[in-house]
Amino acid sequence: MRHNIFGTDGLRGKANEGFITPDAVMRLAVSATNYCRNTYVKADDHKFTVVIGKDTRLSGYMLEPALTAGFIAAGANVMLLGPIPTPGVAYMTKSLRADLGIVISASHNPYHDNGIKFFNAEGFKISVEDEIGISTAFEQPQVLTRTELMGKAWRLDDAAGRYVEFAKSSFPREMDLSGMKIVVDTANGAAYKVAPQVFWEFGADVIKIGNSPDGLNINDRCGVMDTSLLRDEVLRRKACIGIALDGDADRVVIIDETGELIDGDYLIAAIATSWQRSGRLRGDAVVATVMTNLAMERYLNSIGIGLVRTDVGDKHVVQKMLEIGTNIGGEQSGHIIPGDHSMTGDGIVSALQILAYIKANGAQASSIRKLYTPCPSVIKNIPLTSSRSLDEYRNAGEKIVGNSGRIIVRKSGTEPLVRILIEAESVCALNAAVAAICRL
């Protein structure tokens, strides 16, 4: 099998270690330029161009210039976007007709981690074939260009504004958000400026939290990783809804007006319902992962919408969406792909679709939780160093839940963990399955 240095979602790890060092990412930039230019660029006079965006991590100040130096040394031009959500980089890569888009982010991970994500010229995550091609080039001697052929770099000052207008274009023209009090938690991350601006420009009363990044507080007790502060603020301010993003704003979860969490499964179901009613849903189907609750599948089936499952990871979701021709998919974690607007997770655009659902139905956010009652479930994370095999965990759980539930066991693509989803028809069966697994 050919070697691939990439994980589930690009390269990720602790800053200043492994692949997340100045030397490594500079080499990565050279390798990516040479591979992609040789593979995709045909015109001899074409200047290979890259856009780079980042979140608010302190280590971004180290990785951005290192990547820039590598791209320039290989003969590529670089447009620096500054802090901007991951979907903003995907959009700008295609909009600016760049050859490659780079996001410097470790998404929902703590500040001490960072990562590199790649987008192709169409704004899609690069394919596994391209990952292997770049990995192969990375392990070979580096080819630098002649001095007169080196690239240049410049900052694009209006990148954030362009993304704001793009996000706004996803909201129905006949609607606004006047009269709605919204609490927005941007996780001290990439969307700390643009997210509140989008909702405010539609007329909402916006209360901002988690929007004072200092390089070290990204995802720290805020955003999708910890919604307790958002919940408290929604209740204290008597807000209509709370919107939580993660560090690079490709994920979203909601706190309703009663303080209850609404996860990605519910949000996908609500968007699919709304789009079906308006005739926008393509293929009469939704794509979700093996982690999606069984009750959501049953609800969608009851209103004539199919659910197609994939492995965990937005690339798998996107690939299946393209295969079956649908325009909505995502993950329980809140990574939602609104295919009419973006083919990568977009927390802001997805939140706008939820707000449109609420406005169109004259309902409260809590109405989304009434679409279905989830089957009891839990996710156990076990260190990968455990001596047990994946099959042992799976078999222990299946003996309890049988055919009425589900046990999904997988290795994490971003952390050294085994993730076990246990889903059962009753809390009693769920607890018994958890106990059986924990006894191993």
Pairwise CA distance, residues 118 & 32, whole Å: 9
Q: Which one is catalytic: 31, 59, 107, 377?
A: 107
Q: How far apart are CA 192 and CA 353, in angstroms?
A: 20
Please state, in angstroms and rounded to a whole number, the distance separating the CA atoms of residues 398 and 418: 17
Q: What DSSP letter does each residue of 206-270 carry, written as one string?
A: EEEES----SS-TTSS-GGG--HHHHHHHHHHT-SEEEEE-TTSS-EEEE-TTS-EE-HHHHHHH
Alpha-carbon distance 326 to 185, whole Å?
Answer: 30
CA distances from 309 to 285, 298, 312, 331, 332 (A): 11, 13, 9, 10, 12
> Is there a catalytic annotation at residue 105?
no
Place of tokens 């052929």: 149
Q: Residue 98 carries which DSSP code?
A: -
Q: Which H helix or E strand runs over 131? A: helix 128-138
CA distance 316 to 356: 27
CA nearest neighbour of 39 among 100, 130, 127: 130
Give CA angle at 329 (327, 334), nearest 5°: 135
Instruction: Give the DSSP H or E segment for 84.
Output: none
Residues 6+ apart with CB under 8 A from 64: 52, 54, 80, 104
Alpha-carbon gap, residue 146 to 141, rounded angstroms: 16
By residue count, the chain amounts to 440
What is the rounded distance in angstroms from the CA atom of residue 246 to the CA atom of residue 409?
25
Catalytic residues: 107
